Structure 1
Amino acid sequence: MHDHADEPLRLPAAPAVPARPALPIAAAIVPVIGAVVLWRVTGSAYALWFAALGPLMAGAGLVDGWRTARGAKRRARREAAAEIKALDADVTRRHDDERRRAWRRTPDVAGYAEDPDEVWRVVPGREGALVVGRGSAASGIRVDGEAHDESARAVRRRARTIDDMPACVPLEGGVAVVGPAPLAAGVVRALAVQACLAHPPGRLRLVGVGAPRPGDPASGLDSLPHALGTSGTALFVGMGGRGAPPGTDAQIVGVREGEPPPPGCAAVLTLAGGESARLDHDGMSRDVRVEAISRAQAEFVAGILAERASQLGYGGDRAASLDELSAPDAVAGSLAAVVGVRGGDPVVLDLVADGPHAIVVGVTGAGKSELLTTWIVGLCRGRSPQELALLLVDFKGGRTFDALASLPHVTGVLTDLDEGSALRAVESLRAEVRHRERVLAECGARDVAEAAGALGGLVIVVDEYAALVAAHPQLHDLFGDLAARGRALGMHLILASQRVGGAFRDGVLANAPLRIAFRVTDAADSRAVLGVDDAARLPGAESARGTALVRRAIDDAPLAVRVARCDAGSLEALRAASAGAIPARKPWLAPLPAVLGLAQVRGVGGAGTDGGIVLGLADEPEHQRQSVVLLAPDAPGLAVIGGPGSGRTTLLRTIAVQSPRVLWTPDDPESAWDAVMAIDDAAPGTTVIVDDADAIAARLGGEYGALWVAALERAAREARGRSLTLVLSLARVSGGLGRVVDLLPQRALLALPTRADHAAAGGDPTDFVPDAPPGRGRWGRRLVQFAVGSGESVAVGVTGGPAAARAPGTVGALASVSARASGGDTASAGALASVGATTHTASAPPLALDGARPIAFVVPPGPAAAARAAACADAGRHALSVDEAAADPSALGAGDAIIGTPETWLAQWRVLAAARERCDLVVDAACVAEYRAVSGRRDLPPFVAPGAPRAWLLVPGATRVRRVSTRAT
């Protein structure tokens, strides 16, 4: 059909100008000729009067011609005016049509209000256009023809310009509205609402909208369905000169007076008061009248659009309660549960059909925990605990699943507040895998679907999976194995995390086709889960909380879902429906007790029947068992490493209780020196116990400490060949003791202050357990609670040698040990008595002055010489100085004593040599620095505590140096 509106108009032609009437010469001459002819015929002179009629008729003709021409001219002018008027009316009509078409093509908010059917219609020219006001515009009307007068020229001028036309600019070019803040906010708000009326969700999404804020044009726009969009043109709406954030495609911003418009705004509206404004765009400036709306009006429009979006399936559903949504029909082998709404309809996810595993990501506060709670309750509705069991792991603070813990379907709620128990329970899933494999094998089934109900479903829900595997990287392999084999075994994972990077390995991602993403801050996380950036575009406003994107294997694109709320009523209804149900089977054993008696351990599986020493109970959650830890009877040794209060000494007492022969090294340095030096004389089958070895070595110090440690090292090397068991405890492995510990085949790691200390002691850093109770430690990689001994009788040998020389002992009641299980580790005499182990005490008998040989005293300068002389006089010995003995060597008798300082002895070397051969040489411990020079021996004497009244006694012909007390001398 031909559109006459597109045909050009034509100006009427100029009115025709009538020709001037011609002089009627013939009419004037004919009467004259007739009069002459008549005169000639009649001869009457009166006939000549007829000649006058010629001029009269000529004049009359002229007058009549003039009158006719003037009338014609007036008629032509009237006709031309009528044509101009008709043309003007045609211009007006065409202007109206053009204006109507323009406003219909690009309406403003008022235009959409007049005709709601235009909302989200696809109209050529509307896409990407934004009406910023009303003003004059060039008309599309063409007027042909020549303007012959001013009226024609006026019509042509009017036809060129049309008033009250929409002033449009490209949306993606950006618009800045400059003016007083309240008025600018209203105009910006109107422009944003207009854009949302023109473009449906999915074609346009709003950025920067949020909860109402005074003066912010984006306030009130958060309820628009476009605020929940994840795809389409990103339109930023805001106030201030900062402009749009990165990643946006367009912006509509308000700018206060005096501030420059932000970059990226191709159009600038400068408000002049009221509706008046000036539009600067594309290098031109023109006056326009703007449109503004209030926040209430914007919210009203938003409500209408939200309802329309919900009806059309664009999302933006209101938050629904789980009670409002009917549960799906229970189907055997299905784990379908309603989790939310989309387009007003319930959204059902099935872990079996859509899974078998699901991954949930989103920032804090986006709604992950709400989804997990709703999903768990939805799974439990209509299913018994035997059909479905749940293991809930919360590694972000321990409060997410509190309300669900009492459900009979829930086998346990594990939190990072008790990280050790949580890790233990998760590792128990390895044993659950083997258990389910055994059941399937017994049923001859390939998967749970063929097992005829022998196995129920087990859903493991982890909130903050990234934190769990970051703290325990070894769990990556476990979850990868569960993801790979879970479908056949009826084990399903729902893993929630704030981030994807570094948390989910390929093995988990490949087997988790059910993906749910809330708002994320990194587009890479969205792509990793959904394959698109949409989750990074979800708004962060409070009104958008609970909005998620769901993508299953069958979905071509993510679907927007509003997660349903699970309120207290839904939980109470589920508890009431599950009342009296048999709780689901737990996939793990009870944790190790904090205090464990030796009798309790022996009662586990007949432990101790092979003659080994019972140490404690090891937790093996991966096998769903707890086994007895034994020290083999022929074991050459054990190192017990732990911090203060960790239970080191208690463990040593437990070992001592069960050992047939014990050499317990006391904690005082002199006795410890003697005990370790006496290991060479220990009988086969002796258990040598050294408590606080590092502390003793430090107290011995220097050369003594090095020799003491060397003796322990020698004992460790020879232990197996001599049938000895060397057990030592220490707080830190360092120096030469490190070599000793390395020689011992077994190592028990008790609680240490830090993870670094645990690693330095030879443990795996991931096995470190902070705040472990006393007696809790590691035997290899296994977690062990070491036992507290109980009363038994044993024979205890002090040192080696003939049996008659060894003092037997009995083990007393260990009630005191049990009572002090959490106490200190220092082995006092009373504590040692409580285990009945006879200890090697330091030998320092008083110096006897009544011997048959003369005595040579080496004393420090000072009053010591006089004291020794007085003691000798009391004992009937004659005291000489070194110089006196040098003057008359033959005068020295058996009852004499020579007293001198190291300097005097060394000055009289002949006397010193004679004294070494004939006298009992007594070297005061204060002269340790000169001991080797005075005694002539290279070996160190027995250790003496600094400041103790001790001396060393060297008897001629004897190789052993004895420690004696000089307190009485």
Structure 2
Amino acid sequence: MTVAPDPIRLPSRPTAPARPGFPLIACVAPLVAAALIWGITGSALVLVFAVLSPVIAVAGLVDGRRSNSRQRRRDAAGYAAQMIEAEAAVDQALGRLRREAWNAAPSVHRMLGDAHDPTHWADPATVSVVLGAGDLPSGLRLEGGDTEQRELRARAAVLTGAPITVDPAGGIGIVGPGLVIRALARSVVVQLVGQLSPRALGIRTPAGDDWAWMAGLPHLTAVSPVGWLTVTRPGRPNLPSPPAQPGDPGSDVRITLVEAEASLPPGCATIVRVHGASDAELVRVGGHPAGLRFVPQLLAEQQTAGFGAMLHREAEVAGLAGADAALPETVSFTSLGSGRAQDPDGPPGRLSCVMGVGEHGPLTVDLVSDGPHALVGGTTGSGKSELLVTWVSALAARYPPSQVTFLLVDFKGGAAFDVVRALPHCVGLITDLDEREALRALASLAAELRHRERVLRDTGGRDITDPRSAGRLPRLVIVVDEFATMLGAFPTLHALFVDIAARGRSLGVHLVLCTQRPAGVMRDALLANCSLRLSLRVNNAADSQAVIGTDAAARIDAGRPGRCVLRRGSSPLESWQVATTNDDDIRAILADQPESATPVRRPWLDPLPRLVTAERVTALAGGLAPPTTVLGLIDEPDLQRYSVARYDPRADGHLLVVGGAGTGKSTLLAAIAAQPTAQSTAQSTAPAAYRAELIPADVESSWDALVRARAALDAPAGRAPVGARRHDAGEECRALLFDDIDAVLARWGEEHRAAALDLLTGLLRDSGRSGLRLVLTVQRLTGALAALPALCQSRLVLRLPSVYEHQAAGEPAASYDDTLPPGGGHWRGARIQLLAAPAVQQSGEAAAVPSVLLAAPTDARVLLVIAASTARSAAAIRAAGSPDFPHVVELGAHSVAGGRADRLQVSDVGAGTVLVGDVDTWQAHWSLLTGLRAVAPLVFDGCSLADYRLVTRRRDLPPPLAPAASRGWLVRPDGTVQRVRVP
């Protein structure tokens, strides 16, 4: 459809400037002025100026007319230039409209020339023919201007030399001398057969040599076309009328040639009267008078040479003519007679099967001799998936699983291969529904090549057909549907498939690669090994060229799914119809399969199990030998194996485990704590390779473990503090296991948290040459903990809530997987599943905290209690009933030895006395506190760190206390501080 161009603006003719009038006032004014001056002054000289006034007026009049003349010339020149531009714009617009009209018209010269492209047959409802060239309304609009531009407007209104097109439906009557009307009819016929396929249009023509040029047209032999083209000449013999056909009668076209208009049969919708070779008249169009004169588009018989043969070749490729037209519309799998009963053992060194019907009967394809690899092209709806299913089914029907197996790859959901998944030959189906598992399986193919190379090397065979290797390896056919989509998801796999294509022949691995758009996707290194080419209908010639070397597949009729073009190496093209396979065919194949106790080997290992047992790991590891600890199994798909993940504290240093809640961190620590113990038990003659201490995840145990470890590092040899162990040469390594250290840090107060972080980072930094190793588990690496990965030599990352936290833990974003099961993670760049270890008793149980009454020194005769609540603490101590401290005194509340407690002196306090008061009360009794603290221990019950510092005047940190527990501090007279249990 031609879009009307934008309106062209015409210039308006310029208006002539008005003639200037005589300047009467300018002439009279000087005269009056001169007379007044003369009357006043009496000077006759003034009258001279009066004489100049007419001269000035005449000069002004002449100058105005001269300026008007110049303006008229400028306006006229501008108008002429604008008219030239408008005329040029009109000519350009008319030329563009003429080109667009001819580009849209089915010109007979384009049908015969190189520009003819029958790739897409036209819809019969939209077909039109060009009778010649004439004048038509242009539809060009001109705006502005004036009525004097009639010539330009008339020229713009007519599109000269435009194609005169008519609808052939309803019949065309051509009247005139016999020679010219046959030339015009010949032009109409060429246009019709060039636009409509033999399926849409068949031809019936008059007898005689004038129509011998049509002998090669495929439309003459059309089988049951939708409509018929009939050329008649009243009074001349014609071919038999075509048989009546069901369908739309409007699809028939009749061209009638007569020398007189009176001889025309009634009902011709279009009548053309030809006066000569360059003059014709369109008398009627669509049943209405026209009266349009034009130059007819005549065609000599010599100009049609080769046209019929060309169309016949195109129709043959599209399956619409010749032997290909006789191919069946559908072929059933059963009708091919495929089955193993025909050849129970299968031909040696071959993978041949019948896949459909060709021009000469059943079509057999051998993937080994014709391949070793195949490329299949086809657009949506062309029958591509059906071809793959039939190929797999036909091979499975002829060969047992011991000779051929299939790996199916479908990157459009997997539904294409649902029919054949039940075949025992199918070792797996890879889809795009789980991209991680798809990439893992495809990466295993490289290991499959190495496995086959090892088998051939062990048997001494040169390739899979060598008798020394016979029966050791079945051929593996990798069928990939939507290969381009797979490469779009995993571009790195192209190199893998190039490697398979290069080495597959000798190793018995064959590729069947299927794609909708092969052009620009398949590289030369891969195409060079795909000697077998099959193409169903594709959308354009470039895709067809990429598969079979010609544009034949682009011309296959869209109404014939399963029609395919085959090229074997440099052999000629073969057209054939693919057979269709259904569930009954698959069931029949399954019924014919022999029973085999040997399962088919898969070309890749199953994904890591969700539960890794100790028995499985022990069997794979060959025993758990110190000094390493088994963490679990590592997935190595590129090697088709699992390997054991080990952690050696001596060599691997500190271990950081990052993972969300419920991901298996605590289970891992239990496994690390349990394994060295089990090893030392089994090997009683030698100590364990290292001793693991599992620290309870509470503020008291974690603090004490950090303090003891720091003291052991800082103490000179042989002088480690009590409760701390120091590593000596030859002694086993010691590992401290801290669970959820980030949660423990969050429960400490601000000062204890800062001090604990200093202790932790100091141990990680300073214990490198010692036998101390830390194993830390955290949920999040935030704040100061973000530096932990840099301080820990080993890192294990379990499932985390987000990819950002996964990257913060030092892992690439591409490895993030939020579907990992508990125990699943990444260890040294590989996927790991942790050992499901049984729960063990924590070896680092918190030390027993003595009661405040029992922890007091045996020689202490007085106990000082600083309490948050004096009455509550005093009542609890009385209830405890210690025989060493029978007297409990609340400062400021009771009388002692005849005096008030708020006026006690040191000498008033007897042995076995407990003095209880809050911080403020003890501040009021500061002299008493100062006098007694040198011999009496201080107990802080329910006090804060600020209370502790206010009373003791010390800046060091006491050990942290577990929240919501009966804990307090005991400060001995010698200054040591310990944690005690208060009543």
1:636 and 2:653 matched: yes
Gaps of 5+ in 2: 1-107, 113-130, 133-164, 206-210, 228-249, 253-265, 288-314, 678-690, 711-723, 728-732, 880-885, 894-899
> For residue 672 of structure 1, what is the aligned residue in structure 2?
702
> For residue 580 of structure 1, what is the aligned residue in structure 2?
595
The answer to which of 892-901 and 686-695 deviates more is 892-901
1:563 and 2:568 matched: no
Match of 1:311 among 317, 322, 327: 322
1:478 and 2:496 matched: yes
Q: Which amino acid aligns with 2:783?
A: G
> For residue 91 of structure 2, what is the aligned residue in structure 1?
none
> For residue 325 of structure 1, what is the aligned residue in structure 2?
336
Q: Report the 3-state secondary structure (helix = DSSP H, G, I; strand = E; otherwise coil) of the residue aligned with 1:848.
A: helix
Paired residues of 1:513 and 1:552 also in contact (CA < 8 A) = yes
1:779 and 2:827 matched: yes
Q: How far is the alpha carbon of 1:709 from its aligned partner? A: 4.0
1:336 and 2:370 matched: no
Q: Which amino acid aligns with 2:352?
A: A
Paired residues of 1:134 and 1:165 also in contact (CA < 8 A) = no
Paired residues of 2:373 and 2:512 also in contact (CA < 8 A) = yes
With over 3 angstroms needed to count, the CA separation of the structure-2 counterparts of 1:284 and 1:748, relative to structure 1, is farther
> For residue 696 of structure 1, what is the aligned residue in structure 2?
744
Cα distance in 2, alignment partners of residues 193 and 626 from structure 1: 66
Equivalent positions of 1:440-459 (< 5 A) are: 440-442=456-458, 444-450=460-466, 454=470, 455-459=473-477
Q: Which amino acid aligns with 2:511?
A: L
Q: How far is the alpha carbon of 1:921 from its aligned partner? A: 4.1
Q: Report the 3-state secondary structure (helix = DSSP H, G, I; strand = E; otherwise coil) of the residue aligned with 1:615.
A: strand
Paired residues of 1:446 and 1:488 also in contact (CA < 8 A) = yes
Q: Which amino acid aligns with 1:562?
A: Q
Percent identical residues: 36
Cα distance in 2, alignment partners of residues 648 and 903 from structure 1: 47
Cα distance in 2, alignment partners of residues 171 and 925 from structure 1: 106
Cα distance in 2, alignment partners of residues 431 and 387 from structure 1: 20
Paired residues of 2:318 and 2:556 also in contact (CA < 8 A) = no
The answer to which of 436-445 and 480-489 deviates more is 436-445
Deviation per CA, 1:876-900, whole angstroms, max 9, x where unpaired? 2545479x99999866857677766
Paired residues of 2:172 and 2:272 also in contact (CA < 8 A) = no
Q: How far is the alpha carbon of 1:369 from its aligned partner? A: 2.4
> For residue 846 of structure 1, what is the aligned residue in structure 2?
851
Q: Report the TM-score, using the length of structure 2 for normalisation.
A: 0.58
Equivalent positions of 1:44-83 (< 5 A) are: none
With over 3 angstroms needed to count, the CA separation of the structure-2 counterparts of 1:460 and 1:682, relative to structure 1, is farther
Cα distance in 2, alignment partners of residues 501 and 956 from structure 1: 90
Deviation per CA, 1:523-572, whole angstroms, max 9, x where unpaired? 876665566777677676xx44334555554268x766532212344434
Q: Report the 3-state secondary structure (helix = DSSP H, G, I; strand = E; otherwise coil) of the residue aligned with 1:397.
A: coil
Paired residues of 2:695 and 2:843 also in contact (CA < 8 A) = no
1:437 and 2:453 matched: yes
Cα distance in 1, alignment partners of residues 271 and 930 from structure 2: 121
With over 3 angstroms needed to count, the CA separation of the structure-2 counterparts of 1:563 and 1:452, relative to structure 1, is farther
Q: How far is the alpha carbon of 1:506 from its aligned partner? A: 6.1
The answer to which of 777-786 and 891-900 deviates more is 891-900
Q: How far is the alpha carbon of 1:741 from its aligned partner? A: 3.9
With over 3 angstroms needed to count, the CA separation of the structure-2 counterparts of 1:733 and 1:315, relative to structure 1, is farther
Q: Which amino acid aligns with 1:563?
A: V
The answer to which of 918-927 and 607-616 deviates more is 918-927
Q: How far is the alpha carbon of 1:690 from its aligned partner? A: 1.9
Q: Which amino acid aligns with 1:646?
A: T
Cα distance in 1, alignment partners of residues 757 and 280 from structure 2: 92
Gaps of 5+ in 1: 1-101, 107-124, 143-159, 176-187, 206-218, 223-251, 255-272, 291-303, 790-816, 818-833
Equivalent positions of 1:384-783 (< 5 A) are: 384-415=400-431, 423-442=439-458, 444-450=460-466, 454=470, 455-465=473-483, 468=486, 475-497=493-515, 507-518=525-536, 529=547, 543-548=559-564, 550=566, 553-554=569-570, 561-580=576-595, 584-589=600-605, 592-604=608-620, 606-632=622-648, 634=650, 635-660=652-677, 661-680=691-710, 681-682=724-725, 684=727, 685-700=733-748, 702-753=750-801, 757-769=805-817, 771-783=819-831
Cα distance in 2, alignment partners of residues 752 and 284 from structure 1: 84
Cα distance in 2, alignment partners of residues 776 and 193 from structure 1: 67
Larger radius of gyration: 1
Q: Report the 3-state secondary structure (helix = DSSP H, G, I; strand = E; otherwise coil) of the residue aligned with 2:398.
A: coil
Deviation per CA, 1:807-852, whole angstroms, max 9, x where unpaired? xxxxxxxxxx3xxxxxxxxxxxxxxxx5233333266543339662
> For residue 887 of structure 2, what is the aligned residue in structure 1?
876
With over 3 angstroms needed to count, the CA separation of the structure-2 counterparts of 1:671 and 1:502, relative to structure 1, is farther
> For residue 284 of structure 2, what is the aligned residue in structure 1?
287
With over 3 angstroms needed to count, the CA separation of the structure-2 counterparts of 1:628 and 1:712, relative to structure 1, is same
Paired residues of 1:130 and 1:191 also in contact (CA < 8 A) = no
Cα distance in 1, alignment partners of residues 540 and 363 from structure 2: 26
> For residue 215 of structure 1, what is the aligned residue in structure 2?
none
Cα distance in 1, alignment partners of residues 955 and 394 from structure 2: 84
Equivalent positions of 1:905-924 (< 5 A) are: 920-923=937-940
> For residue 55 of structure 1, what is the aligned residue in structure 2?
none
Q: Report the 3-state secondary structure (helix = DSSP H, G, I; strand = E; otherwise coil) of the residue aligned with 2:427.
A: strand
Q: How far is the alpha carbon of 1:166 from its aligned partner? A: 8.8
Paired residues of 1:464 and 1:496 also in contact (CA < 8 A) = yes
Number of residues paired by the alignment? 692
Deviation per CA, 1:175-201, whole angstroms, max 9, x where unpaired? 9xxxxxxxxxxxx9999636999999x
Q: How far is the alpha carbon of 1:381 from its aligned partner? A: 4.0
Cα distance in 1, alignment partners of residues 519 and 925 from structure 2: 83
Deviation per CA, 1:770-824, whole angstroms, max 9, x where unpaired? 54443344333434333334xxxxxxxxxxxxxxxxxxxxxxxxxxx3xxxxxxx
With over 3 angstroms needed to count, the CA separation of the structure-2 counterparts of 1:904 and 1:752, relative to structure 1, is same
Q: Which amino acid aligns with 2:334?
A: D
With over 3 angstroms needed to count, the CA separation of the structure-2 counterparts of 1:398 and 1:165, relative to structure 1, is closer
Paired residues of 1:607 and 1:614 also in contact (CA < 8 A) = no
Q: Which amino acid aligns with 1:340?
A: G
> For residue 249 of structure 1, what is the aligned residue in structure 2?
none
Match of 1:357 among 365, 373, 381: 373
Q: Report the 3-state secondary structure (helix = DSSP H, G, I; strand = E; otherwise coil) of the residue aligned with 1:722.
A: coil
Cα distance in 2, alignment partners of residues 191 and 565 from structure 1: 23
Cα distance in 2, alignment partners of residues 886 and 844 from structure 1: 33
> For residue 176 of structure 2, what is the aligned residue in structure 1?
139
Paired residues of 2:356 and 2:579 also in contact (CA < 8 A) = yes
Deviation per CA, 1:238-284, whole angstroms, max 9, x where unpaired? xxxxxxxxxxxxxx999xxxxxxxxxxxxxxxxxx976468999997
Equivalent positions of 1:193-204 (< 5 A) are: 193=201
With over 3 angstroms needed to count, the CA separation of the structure-2 counterparts of 1:740 and 1:305, relative to structure 1, is closer
> For residue 942 of structure 1, what is the aligned residue in structure 2?
959
Paired residues of 2:387 and 2:578 also in contact (CA < 8 A) = yes
Paired residues of 2:378 and 2:537 also in contact (CA < 8 A) = yes
The CA RMSD measured in Å over matched residues stands at 5.4
Cα distance in 1, alignment partners of residues 783 and 877 from structure 2: 46
> For residue 835 of structure 1, what is the aligned residue in structure 2?
840
> For residue 49 of structure 1, what is the aligned residue in structure 2?
none
